[in-house]
Structure 1
Amino acid sequence: MKKQKGLALIKSDGEIEQAESQIVELSKRIEFYLTEYSVELLASKMNKGEFVVPSYQREYTWEQDRKSRFIESLILGLPIPFLFFWEMPDGRLEIVDGSQRLRSIEEFVLGDLRLGELQSLTALSGFKFSDLPESRQRKINNRSIRGIVLNEHADEQARFDMFERINTGSKIANMAEVRRGALAGPFMDLIIELSVLPKFVALAPVSKKDLNEREHEELVARFFAYSDGLEGYKDRPSEFIFNYVKKMNVEAANDPALAARYRTRFQEAIDFIEQVFPYGFRRALKGKATPRARFEAIAVGSRLALDERPDLTNEDIDDVTPWLTSDDFTTVTGSDGANAIARLRERTGFVRNRLLGE
């Protein structure tokens, strides 16, 4: 029983035991060791394919200036963030975080990367590695970068958790990249297939950056996960969607007809949204972005309405513009506490109820 002491609550023995048990259980998934590599060895291992860039990692997107700034930091001996790897069963290391840095090192040391305009080492602007005297090449090659390696017993969720925590504050699209690689399977294949449907892409425009980070896959995954029910949702969308896709991969493998059913669910909703919502998921006719909370409200709310009334069409619905531009809709799709389950249900229920006239 909890006892009040001042303003604090004293935890019961049962609560303390449950917390300790959870720490022990989750800690079992995290087994790692520290390592340190010279720049020369890092470049060599990248070149030989001993470091594996997984499919969920984005393309080599660093622009020339960013590569040059990183190499400048390396030459100056400034601290370089840890590299994170997962030890694959065959002994190679999958890059969990650091692929852009590693590819820049390989391109500079073994390739033809020519440094751009540098901020500190201005005299090195325009240099390639081969332009440097051998003494400086050796000094650069001898510099080391530390790494953390999750061993092969770490499961998919452990790798996912590590990537998420490393990238705290980054866009959750990165999680779409992780799911693509860590959760390969028939349901993930369906998500990828639907994410490039021309009609969907037209209704849900995203920036070039978000497109490269697979934002459309993230939106499709959210549509299925949230419209399929929120059992087990604990205000952590990345973990919830990861577990949902993992479960659906298994179900789709055991039921060959499942993919067709879910494809139809998605396409019906998109066709309906195209007919009913004048701007699709955009805020305005010429909008170039798809806010996630707005997408969830419209996409999931529409699917819930169609589940209730499969024969629902635009002819049964009054103009949605008045409530779509109302303060109430703006409030329920606001960013404040957007991932809380109550807010998620509120915004999807808002659209469902308006479409059904309730």
Structure 2
Amino acid sequence: MSLIDEVNEKRKEIRTDGYAMSISEWASLYESKEIDIHPEFQRFYRWGDSQKTNLIESILLGIPIPPVFVSQRKDGIWDVVDGLQRLSTIYQFMGILEDENQNTIDPLTLTGTKYLPSLEGKKWNSPEDEDNSFSQELRLIIKRSKINVSIILKESDETAKYDLFQRLNTGGSDLSPQEVRNCILVMINRDFYTWLQRLASYEPFQECISLSDRPLKESYDLELALRFLIFTLIEEGELEQLSDVGIFITEKMRTIAVDDAFDTAMWENLFMQTFDLLQNELNEESFKRYNVSKQKFTGGFLLSQFEVVAYGLGYNLANRNKLKKIPDTAAGIWSDLRYTEWSGSGITATRRLPRILPFGREVFNDGN
């Protein structure tokens, strides 16, 4: 098939529409629950009050706002694919935004800006503070301002909205790679996302990975739990086909999240068994560098150590293999060239995983 044929074929799979809508119409859609902005996403987005104020300022000044992308579900409801933070800010300022438990979030109070310093302390409409409330004229300017919508129609390929979400929220996004995946998971299978959250919150797992606040805030613990599900029992031949590991993880996640045959009970048991064992044997030293000269584990969390120790133990537990002594084996890998040559700086995950994952399965297996 030629390139133009491929283009024409794929263009048929994505049906779109678009037009301009007033903010009053956007608010009406939200209040009548005809649009789903996925309130669970709020925890992943990190706009501060100044960024939110800048959006309101732009609307007041007539500065064009980027279009909102939505996907039309079979029931006619719109799923917001891109533009959640913009809509959430508008809804919060208008005092109608709800959290995931359907509780109304405190309305936004604006801050002063370079062009509109008098925005400081202003609110949409507060009977208790009329002096700081927007006038009717200002509220109408907001309500009548328009934001374009681009709609992926329900006739489109079912995966189109997830592809679009990933493209629009990767790269220049404020979201971490796992936060993007979390949003996709919520759209695909909310129950699977909740289950993954529960795994990542498991106390022995949290103690073993011993992450600092920033990676935890960016959902790196969920990414590590997801990596465990993907790589622990993966066929070694599949690793030879790796290109971009981040994309590979996302695609695998999307596959297993809709796979009715995926055995969550088995995986939960294996996950807990692995990290119960590690908590008892190494605890917060599980995934740290072993300093051979000082004869102790030092430093912070290392992904390559996680890949060898967590996946290696999980694989052998799943196959009911007899295990070598865990502390001695975890320390011993730092004297093994098969590990040290493939875990240093400059070695990408694409090159590293096909070599150290089989190594981890081997070193923890006491087959003698």
TMscore range, shorter length: 0.7 to 0.9
Residue 132 (structure 1) aligns with:
134
* CA distance 1:103–1:209, change in 2 (3 Å): farther
Structure 1 partner of 2:28: 44
Alignment-derived partner of residue 7 in structure 1: none
Partner of 1:191: 196
Alignment match, 1:105: 90
> Is 2:49 the counterpart of 1:64?
yes
Q: CA RMSD in A?
A: 3.6
Task: Mark the CA change 1:329 to 1:123 in structure 2 (over 3 Å): closer, same or farther.
Answer: farther
CA distance, structure 2, for counterparts of residue 325 and residue 115 of structure 1:
58
Unaligned 5+ segments in structure 2 are 97-106, 126-132, 290-296
TM-score by length of 2: 0.75
Task: Please state how far the C-alpha of 1:83 moved relative to its aligned partner.
Answer: 1.3
Indicate the residue corresponding to 2:325 in structure 1: 314
* Aligned-residue offset at 1:105: 0.4
Cα gap change, 1:319 to 1:295, in 2 (>3 Å): closer
Counterpart in the other structure of 1:295? 306
Alignment of 1:230-269 (within 5 A): 231=238, 234-237=242-245, 239-248=247-256, 253-254=260-261, 258-269=263-274
- State whether residues 322 and 365 of structure 2, in contact with CA within 8 Å, keep that contact through their aligned partners in structure 1: no
1:150 and 2:152 correspond: yes
Q: Deviations over 1:122-155 (max 9, x none)?
A: 1221111332333333223222222221111334
The equivalent residue for 1:8 is: none
2:126 is the alignment partner of 1:116: no
* Counterpart Cα distance in 2 of 1:147 and 1:164: 18
Q: Structure 2 vs 1, CA of residues 235 and 157 (structure 1 numbering), >3 Å: closer, same or farther?
A: farther
Give 1:318's aligned amino acid: D
Q: Deviations over 1:254-276 (max 9, x none)?
A: 58xx3332223222322343325
Q: Does 1:73 align with 2:58?
A: yes
- Opposite residue 31 of structure 1, the aligned amino acid is R
Distance apart, 1:312 and its partner CA: 0.2
| Structure 1 position 177 matched with structure 2 position 188 | no
Please state how far the C-alpha of 1:54 moved relative to its aligned partner. 2.8
Partner Cα distance (1:237, 1:352) in 2: 20
- Distance in 2 between residues matched to 1:343 and 1:26, nearest whole Å: 34
Distance in 2, Cα, partners of 1:234 & 1:260: 28
Correspondence for 2:76: 91
Give the Cα separation in 2 of the matches to 1:337 and 1:24: 39
- Range with greater deviation from structure 2 (229-238 or 218-227): 229-238
Within the candidate set 277, 286, 301, 1:280 is matched to 286
CA deviation vs aligned residue, 1:239-265 (integer Å, no higher than 9, x gap): 5445534544565x458xx33322232
One of 349, 353, 356 as aligned partner of 1:347: 356
Greater shift, 31-40 or 49-58, is seen at 49-58
> CA contact under 8 A between 2:207 and 2:283: conserved in structure 1?
no
Match of 1:5 in 2: none
CA deviation profile, 1:289-341 (whole Å, cap 9, x unmatched): x56555334322333455577220426x626346449998576346757342x
Provide closer, same or farther for how the CA distance between residues 29 and 237 of structure 1 changes in structure 2, counting only shifts above 3 A: farther
Q: What secondary structure, in the 3-state scheme, does the structure 2 residue paired with 1:318 have?
A: helix
Shift of 1:353: 4.5
Q: Give deviations 1:186-223, integer Å, cap 9, x for gaps.
A: 76564333222111122224455654554333222221
Structure 1 distance, partners of 2:199, 2:274, is: 12
Check conservation: 1:47, 1:106, Cα contact below 8 A. Answer: no
Q: What is the CA-CA distance between 1:185 and the residue it aligns to?
A: 7.5
CA distance in 2, matches of 1:138, 1:49: 22
Please tell me the residue identity of whatever aligns with 2:322.
D
3-state DSSP of counterpart to 1:118:
coil
Q: Which runs of 4+ in 1 moved over 6 A?
A: 325-328
Going from structure 1 to structure 2, the CA distance change for 1:336 and 1:293 (only over 3 Å counts) comes to: same
Give the whole-Å Cα distance in 1 for the aligned partners of 2:307 and 2:204.
Answer: 17
| Distance of aligned partners of 1:109 and 1:197 in 2 relative to their CA distance in 1, 3 Å threshold | same
The code of the aligned residue for 2:27 comes to A
Give ranges in structure 1 of 5+ residues lacking alignment.
Answer: 1-16
Residue equivalent to 1:53: 37
1:168 to 156, 160, 170: 170
State the AA in 2 paired with 1:314.
K
Say if 1:57 and 1:248 are closer, same or farther in 2 by CA, change over 3 A.
Answer: same
Q: Out of 2, 10, 31, which is 2:15 matched to?
A: 31
TM-score, length basis structure 1: 0.77
2:41 match: secondary structure: coil
User: Helix, strand or coil: the match of 2:285?
Assistant: coil
